A and B are shown apart, each in its own frame.
Chain A
Amino acid sequence: MNALVNFAKIFKFHGGVHPPENKAQSTQLAIGQLSLPDKLVLPLRQHVGNIPKIKINVGDHVLKGELIAEAEGTVSAAIHAPTSGTVTAIEDAIIPHPSGLPDRCITITPDGKDSWIERKPQDWRNADRKTLVASLRLSGIVGLGGATFPTHIKLRADGKSGVHTLVINAAECEPYITCDDMLMRERSEQIVKGIEIAQYLLGAEKVVIGIEDNKPEAVVAMQTATTNTAMQVIVVPTLYPSGDARRLVHLVLGQEIPFDKRSTEVGLQVFNVATVLALYRYFEFGEPSLNRIVSMTGNVQTPQNFEVLFGTPLLHLVDAAGGIKSGTTHFIMGGPMMGFDLPDDNVPITKAANCIIAASPTLFAPPPPAMPCIRCARCADACPVSLQPQDLYWFAKSDNFEKARDYKLFDCIECGACSYVCPSNIPLVQYYRYAKSEIIAADRAKEAADIARERNDFRLARIEREKLERAAKHAERAQAAKQTTATASNELTGTTPETNKDAGSGDAQKTEKQAAIAAAIERAKAAKAAAAAVGEVPKNVMETSSTVKAEIAEIETRRASVGLAEKSTIDEDKQAKIAAAIARAKAQKAAAEAAKNKD
């Protein structure tokens, strides 16, 4: 089996770049362990989705592995105490996020004992898949490749997922980052067991592990560990961004996941190696997600990978790598292609932190001033999605957002390959993020306007209906009055009021019918409006999943930070107005209803 793997066909994607790898620096030493820091600061926002609900109070003593915040809503992830100690604060602190904004964090002061809560390993081979996946909600495991999408959602398959192939992402294509490489070198057995669990939970028949050819030790380790399995290790050429899930799937399977579909819709699921290892530790030992491997590299004395508890202050990690070298200006989280400047030197390490790079002007020279685009199309040659970045740039720059969308702006994965090759040093990715956020904001404003219109239609229909009802009541009363007089006269004349009574009840029936018709019209209208709202989902916008929503929030903060704030204030004004209009409509509706109830 393994003799064959290197002959596996590779399906190259368009474009890609090959930046200097700079991985050797941090692979000289084995994965190191850190001493317990003085405090652990755990941001609630460490994953894509809803922030979890805090389950402890300041002053509580917690044990290692104890749930301190539980997943809230579908897309969310739990947070556990990484060590035993006391909860000393629940407050806002700067988190490792491009916005540099503070967010809610739980601070734990370790007691030094590191004593575990009772762990409950699960015999996953003999357990019901549904129960296993349900229990994952308590694991706190998220995608550790950097995407931090809650893993229990990706596994929420109960064996009927239709997923036939599990792709393990071990490409690690970004320069400097080596955490997955080291993990595979040192813990390939555990990784393979984790893959078996994921395969079992998904009911996948086939497993393919994609590793870039610049990690020969990891390849050998994984090949050895998979010897007695049906898993296939495929070595892919080193070409950024081969670690992007859609690119990797194409590389190893030759399959393009359609732009508007999730991988599961075509029977595929992609997991990072560190994530499957976390799955193994959770089911086999009952250990929730408490730490991760972080590459501490760049301008530090001894670059190395460390196993780091979530919440560990950045500088504690930097000290473990021998401290910074002179010239260090700040720290970057992630790689040099897609990472971001950490807003503060003492942010905590979170689930997303695969790599911390100490930056210096020598390592990352500030870019020269941007020149005009000369349309050389080097960016188009480098784009792994086959977009035309020079056109998208032009549209974004001139606020021609419709055109940008037509040219598939939303297919851009923001990998930065275009900027990397741009002779004019244009910050292309920043332009695309700006355009995307503007389009999303406009779509949301439109959505709000549609809701307002719908409400208004509803209100008008209701007023009309009430008018009819009043008229009907009026008629009824008039009829009743008439009837009274008729009865009186009948008494005089001696005729029975039978016929008239019939007529009266007929009227009542009529009113009921009218009300029913009006209600039906109402329902139809509402359904139509809803359908219209759904139908008007703009092209190229993937369903606004919580992932996207989280990204929107992120983009907005980013935009604010790059001085695009004026535009957003205009939008905010607009949004505020719309919100006010909706509020007014609501108030009117409530008043009308109250009046009706009084009636």
Chain B
Amino acid sequence: MNRSPYISDAPSVSNIMFKVLVALVPGIIAYVWVFGGGVLISIALATATALASEAVMLKLRKRPIQPFLMDYSAVVTAWLLALAIPPLAPWWLIVVGTLFAIVVAKQLYGGLGYNPFNPAMIGYAVLLISFPVLMTKWPAALSLAQTKLSFADQLHYIFGGLLPQDVKIDAVTSATPLDYLKTQLTLKHDITSIKAAPIFGALGGKGGEYVTMAYLLGGIYLLQQKIITWHLPIAFLSALALISGIFWIANPAHFANPLFHLFSGASLLAAFFIITDPISGPTTPKGKLYFAAGIGIITYLIRVYGGYPDGVAFAVIFMNICVPLIDAHTQPRVFGHEK
């Protein structure tokens, strides 16, 4: 019988997914430090929901449960979604989003390896469209909030919707920098005066920029571990920087600079953790460049001209649709063949 090769040198799927989780840890630590422990509750809820729904779906689909639960792919989806939605949202919001991501976007399409769309982004998009108000209620950085909620307060609020007495919701939430920028620009304010607002930091949003830097750290770890290749993050960030740079140079009073775009919103989380989902992305090196650059450009256009403050989710979903086309047209030259 011919079953060669007999040897193998590859990390398992579980191993790869586990390293992605490890790479997210610095970002989560920074998140907790800046915004409080509420996000840990979201992560726990999302993880539990993801594993439970994945197990049920596998059972219904008569697939082995153990190996697929242990591949950690559902956990990665859960964590990404939890990090993408406001941590003080009511508990059922993350549960609904995770259910949609795992049950519809992943398992109904055939489970691991068969989902054409990034499940976390599908979950996010469904929540954003269905519950737009809840999805924009972001907590203010603790350093900026008028009232600092303790972890117990946050827990209480997530599950009961009740804040401590005398605390108004506006005192603990704030507009995100991207959101604020957009609103103020429509009011004909110029960038310099807008960015004088306390929610802006040196690069992106105050506090939020530390979280994005921690994501960058995790991303470098993934590159070093060869879990991802440079193509996707570099092409995405370059395209985003390039298009925002062009607009900024043309009219710096009306358009934010490239650094702001790189360090605001979900840019760095997307660059290293979201658009790098291999299953819903292209596989050829050139295809990866096109795919990521497309996401960068669409993200920018949605941020500046679209109806939503951030555009990563829709940009990713749109480019997911293009993947078969991209792959088909970016086939590398095969050895011994003309181009």
Q: Which of B3, B112, B334 contacts A374 (CB 8 A)?
A: B112
User: Do A388 and B331 touch (CB < 8 A)?
Assistant: yes
User: In angstroms, how far is the closest chain A Cβ from the Cβ of B1?
Assistant: 5
Report B1-45 residues with CB < 8 Å from chain A CB: 1-13, 15-16
For A359, list chain B residues within 8 Å (CB).
6
Q: Which of A334, A373, A385, A391 contacts B335 (CB 8 A)?
A: A385
Q: Does residue A411 face the partner (Cβ distance < 8 Å to B)?
A: yes
Report A171-189 residues with CB < 8 Å from chain B CB: 175
User: Do A386 and B327 touch (CB < 8 A)?
Assistant: no
For A372, list chain B residues within 8 Å (CB).
111-114
User: Do B278 and A338 touch (CB < 8 A)?
Assistant: no
For B71, list chain A residues within 8 Å (CB).
371
Binds B, one of A150-158, A314-322, A422-430, A441-449: A422-430
Q: Which of A19, A380, A562 contacts B284 (CB 8 A)?
A: A380
Bound: A407/B12 CA distance, A: 27
User: Do A14 and B335 touch (CB < 8 A)?
Assistant: yes
Residues 415-446 of chain A, each 1 if its beta carbon lies under 8 Å from chain B, else 0: 01001111111010110010000000000000
Q: Which of A364, A368, A373, A407 contacts B331 (CB 8 A)?
A: A407
Residues 85-116 of chain B, each 1 if its beta carbon lies under 8 Å from chain A, else 0: 00000000000000000000000000111100
User: In angstroms, how far is the closest chain B Cβ from the Cβ of A174?
Assistant: 10
User: Do A371 and B13 touch (CB < 8 A)?
Assistant: yes
For B327, list chain A residues within 8 Å (CB).
388, 391
Q: Does residue B307 face the partner (Cβ distance < 8 Å to A)?
A: no
Q: Does residue A226 face the partner (Cβ distance < 8 Å to B)?
A: no
User: In angstroms, how far is the closest chain A Cβ from the Cβ of B45?
Assistant: 26
Q: Which of B5, B278, B337 contacts A377 (CB 8 A)?
A: B278
Q: Does residue B332 face the partner (Cβ distance < 8 Å to A)?
A: yes
**Which secondary structure characterizes the binding site on chain A?**
loop
Q: Does residue B336 face the partner (Cβ distance < 8 Å to A)?
A: yes
Q: Which of A336, A368, A376, A390 contacts B4 (CB 8 A)?
A: A336
For A407, list chain B residues within 8 Å (CB).
331
Bound: A196/B3 CA distance, A: 39
By CB atoms of chain A within 10 A, which of B5, B334, B335, B336 has the most?
Answer: B5
User: In angstroms, how far is the closest chain B Cβ from the Cβ of A376?
Assistant: 5
Report A302-339 residues with CB < 8 Å from chain B CB: 332, 334, 336-339
Residues 333-347 of chain A, each 1 if its beta carbon lies under 8 Å from chain B, else 0: 010111111010000
Q: Does residue B294 face the partner (Cβ distance < 8 Å to A)?
A: no
Binds B, one of A39-47, A251-259, A578-586: A251-259
User: Do B10 and A338 touch (CB < 8 A)?
Assistant: no
User: Do A259 and B334 touch (CB < 8 A)?
Assistant: yes
User: Do A337 and B4 touch (CB < 8 A)?
Assistant: yes
Q: Does residue A271 face the partner (Cβ distance < 8 Å to B)?
A: no
User: Do B278 and A375 touch (CB < 8 A)?
Assistant: yes
Bound: A20/B113 CA distance, A: 30
Report A225-266 residues with CB < 8 Å from chain B CB: 246, 250, 256-259
Q: Which of B67, B112, B336 contacts A257 (CB 8 A)?
A: B336
For A525, list chain B residues within 8 Å (CB).
none
User: Do B334 and A408 touch (CB < 8 A)?
Assistant: yes
Instruction: Decide: A13 near B335, CB < 8 A? Known: A339-B6, A340-B1, A364-B6.
Output: yes
Residues 137-169 of chain A, each 1 if its beta carbon lies under 8 Å from chain B, else 0: 000000000000000000000000000000000
User: In angstroms, how far is the closest chain B Cβ from the Cβ of A249?
Assistant: 10
Residues 555-579 of chain A, each 1 if its beta carbon lies under 8 Å from chain B, else 0: 0001001100000000000000000
User: Do B334 and A387 touch (CB < 8 A)?
Assistant: yes
Bound: A343/B7 CA distance, A: 20
User: Do B283 and A390 touch (CB < 8 A)?
Assistant: yes
User: Do B8 and A371 touch (CB < 8 A)?
Assistant: no
Q: Which of A250, A367, A562 contacts B1 (CB 8 A)?
A: A562
Q: Which of B7, B73, B114, B336 contacts A364 (CB 8 A)?
A: B7
User: Do B335 and A340 touch (CB < 8 A)?
Assistant: no
Bound: A441/B314 CA distance, A: 46
For A339, list chain B residues within 8 Å (CB).
4, 6
Residues 363-401 of chain A, each 1 if its beta carbon lies under 8 Å from chain B, else 0: 010011101111111101000111110110000000000
- For B283, the closest partner residue in chain A by CB is A377
Residues 308-339 of chain B, each 1 if its beta carbon lies under 8 Å from chain A, else 0: 00000000000000000001000111111100
User: In angstroms, how far is the closest chain A Cβ from the Cβ of B68?
Assistant: 8
Q: Does residue A17 face the partner (Cβ distance < 8 Å to B)?
A: yes
User: Do B4 and A340 touch (CB < 8 A)?
Assistant: yes
Instruction: Decide: A378 near B5, CB < 8 A? Known: A259-B334, A423-B15.
Output: no
Bound: A243/B3 CA distance, A: 20
Q: Does residue B281 face the partner (Cβ distance < 8 Å to A)?
A: yes
Bound: A339/B6 CA distance, A: 8
Bound: A287/B16 CA distance, A: 56
For A380, list chain B residues within 8 Å (CB).
283-284, 332
Instruction: Decide: A371 near B112, CB < 8 A? Known: A376-B16, A423-B10.
Output: yes
User: Do A420 and B337 touch (CB < 8 A)?
Assistant: no
Bound: A429/B6 CA distance, A: 12
Q: Does residue A100 face the partner (Cβ distance < 8 Å to B)?
A: yes
Report B191-219 residues with CB < 8 Å from chain A CB: none
Q: Does residue B167 face the partner (Cβ distance < 8 Å to A)?
A: no
For B4, list chain A residues within 8 Å (CB).
332, 334, 336-340, 416, 429
For B111, list chain A residues within 8 Å (CB).
372
Q: Does residue A98 face the partner (Cβ distance < 8 Å to B)?
A: yes
- For A100, the closest partner residue in chain B by CB is B1
Q: Does residue B279 face the partner (Cβ distance < 8 Å to A)?
A: yes
For A250, list chain B residues within 8 Å (CB).
335
User: Do A340 and B2 touch (CB < 8 A)?
Assistant: yes
User: In angstroms, how far is the closest chain A Cβ from the Cβ of B109?
Assistant: 11
Q: Which of B1, B13, B336, B337 contacts A423 (CB 8 A)?
A: B13
Bound: A340/B114 CA distance, A: 32
Instruction: Decide: A336 near B2, CB < 8 A? Known: A13-B335, A258-B336.
Output: no
User: Do B67 and A422 touch (CB < 8 A)?
Assistant: no
- For B5, the closest partner residue in chain A by CB is A416
User: In angstroms, how far is the closest chain B Cβ from the Cβ of A235?
Assistant: 22
Bound: A246/B337 CA distance, A: 13
For B337, list chain A residues within 8 Å (CB).
258-259, 408, 411
For A332, list chain B residues within 8 Å (CB).
4, 6
For A257, list chain B residues within 8 Å (CB).
336
User: Do A419 and B1 touch (CB < 8 A)?
Assistant: no
User: Do A386 and B335 touch (CB < 8 A)?
Assistant: yes
Bound: A561/B13 CA distance, A: 29
For A429, list chain B residues within 8 Å (CB).
4-5
User: In angstroms, how far is the closest chain A Cβ from the Cβ of B292?
Assistant: 14
For A423, list chain B residues within 8 Å (CB).
10-13, 15-16
- For B327, the closest partner residue in chain A by CB is A391
For B73, list chain A residues within 8 Å (CB).
374
Bound: A30/B114 CA distance, A: 54
For A98, list chain B residues within 8 Å (CB).
1-2
User: In angstroms, how far is the closest chain A Cβ from the Cβ of B118?
Assistant: 12
User: Do A371 and B67 touch (CB < 8 A)?
Assistant: yes
**Further contacts, 5 of them, CB under 8 A, given A364-B6, A377-B283, A378-B10:** A256-B336, A338-B5, A368-B12, A374-B73, A421-B8
Shortest 3 CB-CB distances between A and B: which pairs? A372-B113, A416-B5, A259-B336
10 contacts between A and B (CB under 8 A): A259-B336, A388-B332, A411-B335, A411-B336, A421-B10, A425-B8, A429-B5, A433-B2, A558-B2, A562-B1
| B residues with CB within 8 A of A | 1-13, 15-16, 67, 71, 73, 111-114, 278-279, 281, 283-284, 327, 331-337
| A residues with CB within 8 A of B | 13-14, 17, 19-20, 98, 100, 175, 246, 250, 256-259, 332, 334, 336-341, 343, 359, 364, 367-369, 371-378, 380, 384-388, 390-391, 407-408, 411, 416, 419-425, 427, 429-430, 433, 558, 561-562
